[in-house]
Chains A and B, each alone.
Chain A
Amino acid sequence: GDSVTQMEGPVTLSEEAFLTINCTYTATGYPSLFWYVQYPGEGLQLLLKATKADDKGSNKGFEATYRKETTSFHLEKGSVQVSDSAVYFCALIVYGGATNKLIFGTGTLLAVQP
């Protein structure tokens, strides 16, 4: 079945460090890929998305490129801030029917220290 695997956390970084959170997927069709972020005590916010191979999603300094050949969608940011501390979820939707079912990875906790 369709699934998402992302790196285990927590990831602890110093402010201004480079961030990579790995995400790989398995899908029977052609998925759209997403990164969501969850701040403490809140719901999920869409961070970025990519809907086809080689698309690059970007937002707030975060980027991720849809790599069909490696079935990956790794999240990167060049210089993290304390305010980026949150849980990050990689997710996919496989379109082809009338459904909006998001399949999530397990989440990666990012802690940025000043």
Chain B
Amino acid sequence: KAGVTQTPRYLIKTRGQQVTLSCSPISGHRSVSWYQQTPGQGLQFLFEYFSETQRNKGNFPGRFSGRQFSNSRSEMNVSTLELGDSALYLCASSLGSSGRANEQFFGPGTRLTVL
């Protein structure tokens, strides 16, 4: 079974630009969550999508958005990039049903650098 894939693996952008990151979950998984990892703030939850609907959202400004397609693939978008958006963005997929056995599987991440 293929794991979670994220593209691209590395990105360099300049302030003010926008960026789109992609995540393909494990086949059969319907939930995709996004996390931001930085040295200062650690791992922070961005949002979760389930069956094309945003099910939960973290504490990030509106510049951060996402969507999920009917095949469960997800994209996140960051507009008007700031230096502080430089981070490793991790995607996690799971079956999505609420319940204690709902393990999340993480992709390798996209390393975004904003200059």
Contact = CB atoms under 8 A, between A and B. Distances in A.
Interface in B1-59: 4, 31, 33, 35, 42-43, 45, 48, 50, 55-56, 58
B50 A98 contact: yes
Given A101-B45, A101-B56, A102-B45, A44 B100 contact: no
Contact of A104 (B42, B96, B99, B109): B42
Nearest to B42: A106
Interface residues of B, number: 28
Nearest to B32: A100
B80 interface: no
The contact size tier of chain A is 20 to 34
A43 B48 contact: no
B108 A43 contact: yes
A30 B100 CA distance: 10
A102 B48 CA distance: 10
A114 B58 CA distance: 41
Interface string A42-68: 111110010110000000000000000
B56 A95 contact: no
A101 B48 contact: yes
Contacts of B98: 95, 97-100
B48 A104 contact: no
A43 B107 CA distance: 6
Given A95-B100, A101-B48, 19 more contacts: A43-B90, A43-B106, A45-B106, A46-B104, A46-B105, A89-B43, A95-B98, A98-B50, A98-B55, A99-B55, A100-B31, A100-B33, A100-B50, A100-B55, A100-B92, A101-B56, A102-B92, A104-B42, A107-B42
